[in-house]
Amino acid sequence: MEGVMVLSKKKIGLANKIFIGMVIGLAIGFIFPEFGISLNPIGMLFMKLLKMAVVPLIFANVVYGIGQMDDARHFGKAGSKLMIYYMLSTFIAAMIGAFIGKLFKPGIGITLDTAVEDTTVKTMSGFWDTLSSFVPGNIFSAMSDGALPQVILFAIFTGIAILLIGGETKTRLTGAFKDISTLMLKVIMMVMELAPYGIAALMAWTAGKFGMDIFGPFARFFTSVYIALILQVIIVYLGVIFLFVRLNPLTFLKKVKPVWLTAFTLCSSAATIPVSLRVTEEDLGLPTSITSFSIPLGATMNMDGNAIWFGIMGVFASQIVGLDITFITILQFSLMGLILTLGSPGIPGGIFVSTTIFLASFGLPIEAGAMMIGLFRILDMGITATNMVGDIAGSTLVSKMENLFDGKTSKHWQK
């Protein structure tokens, strides 16, 4: 009897609740389409609630992350090289995702009642206009409008300013921003408790509006993501190992197998960190001086799989509203994907927040994100595994560049 009581008290995880909500929502939409469509306002309310605290959260996180460093030299040469690798690989990942999305056309065949004219104006500005738009004329206006690139740029300058001030003032300011981050995170976590109901409403609307026809886009979106993930691993990670580290990429992939299997199963970068640290040090022979910060940092900031999601999501939403996708558009999607993966809040379901902001930044309908967000639980397995393999590839490259690792002479690679 006591065992039954213990089992009954076990909480179902948020991810499982969201998956259950997705299934229930689809069932409602297919069986009672008109009722499912009527639930759309509930889903849209949930998406808007997510946006409510995300801008101050990201601003506080970026400021604190920079301001809490001991000094400007804290990061060092190795850290700088690692960050450059992370940003380049993430940008390439978003590009791969966008091109694969353009190839597989997951949004073709779906129509939303959305004003295309506004969308066209916001996404078709020139490249230099896009870069210029990242500089805020008024930071308070940028925060109010949810202009994330402008907010992050101002946060970077603020963090550096705090770093340069130093002393007791630096301590007080970084502590204040840490408290703001904690507060905003709590607000978002409160909203995330409503996620199963919000997702159920969104999926009911999707199924009710599009019926069985939605499975075609589902399949193409799913296929696009996993093909892009595989290409990211082969072209970027294994390419780095082969071309720059000068080691057998298949041997590398075999040695990191425990990492991507764990990440694929648990869908958690944080939970995979201990496995990554053990594999990098014991199986690959990488120096602890590199892996001790590269792996935890990568689990937080290097999210190439998420960037692939954003690239495909941008193309998907554009195809729905009939927007012609040019190379400049893909560059814009990729740059925004990079920014969001670097500044996204590390919370369960944070992809909901990021996707909403991503689409809103280009004037694309957030309903497009609502359609596919239910798939993320399944896609997250491959996304997390890709993220963690990318962290290790970056750690191996930087170790090689710092002359702290040579696979050809390392006993770990002779096994």
Average pLDDT over residues 286-299: 82
Q: What's the pLDDT band for 121 if we cut at 50, 70, 90?
A: very low
Domains and CATH numbers, the chain: 13-406 (1.10.3860)
Nearest-CA neighbor of 306 among 256, 346, 273?
A: 346
Per-residue pLDDT at 324 exceeds 70: yes
Share of the chain above pLDDT 70, in %: 85
Long-range Cβ contacts of 222-227 (<8 Å, 24+ apart): 222/375, 222/378, 222/379, 223/104, 224/97, 224/100, 224/101, 224/103, 224/104, 224/106, 224/312, 225/97, 225/308, 225/309, 225/312, 225/379, 225/382, 225/383, 226/379, 226/382, 227/100, 227/104
pLDDT for the residue 126: 54
pLDDT tops 80 at residue 285: yes
Is the confidence at residue 70, as pLDDT, over 50? Answer: yes
> pTM of the entire structure?
0.78
Dist CA 99 CA 314 (whole Å): 11
pLDDT tens for residues 337-382?
Answer: 888 887 665 555 567 778 888 888 788 888 788 778 777 878 888 9
Provide the pLDDT for residue 410: 61
pLDDT tens digits for 156-201? 888 888 888 888 888 899 889 889 888 887 887 788 888 889 889 9
3-state secondary structure of 286: coil
Residue 6 vs residue 162, higher pLDDT = 162
